[in-house]
């Protein structure tokens, strides 16, 4: 499966440490290999066709994505700092998703 990264996700990834980048790349490779079959603990369905890649480590990294025209589009990335998913981060991902249409 082809993976598309939006510019905001690329910029976020550039801010990570080498170890974190390695973990993110490995998780993206799993998404590329398994596509929509990728499940917990690496991926979780959110709402309205939105999913999140879950990268565990010293910092919890989340990358929101969706499937669009047989591609996985990585829409928005953030560091998760609380137990709950931040609604503003999810809203940013939904906004990026609407730009795909």
- Print pLDDT tens along the chain (101 aa): 899 899 999 999 999 999 999 999 999 999 999 988 999 999 999 888 899 999 998 899 999 999 988 899 999 999 988 777 678 888 888 888 888 76
Please enumerate in sequence order all residues whose Cβ is within 8 A of that of 15, keeping only pairs 6 or more positions apart, or say none: none
Instruction: Render 58-80 in DSSP notation, one character per residue.
Output: SSEEEEEEEEETTEEEEEEEEEE
Domains and CATH numbers, the chain: 2-100 (3.30.2310.20)
């Amino acid at each position: 499966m082809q993976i598309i990264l939006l510019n905001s996700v690329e910029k976020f990834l550039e801010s990570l440490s080498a170890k974190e980048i390695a973990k993110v790349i490995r998780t993206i490779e799993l998404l590329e290999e398994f596509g929509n079959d990728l499940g917990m603990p690496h991926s979780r369905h959110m709402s309205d066709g939105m999913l999140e890649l879950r990268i565990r480590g010293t910092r919890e990294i989340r990358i929101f994505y969706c499937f669009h025209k047989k591609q996985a589009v990585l829409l928005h990335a953030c560091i998760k700092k609380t137990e709950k998913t931040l609604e503003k981060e999810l809203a940013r991902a939904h906004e990026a998703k609407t730009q795909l249409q």
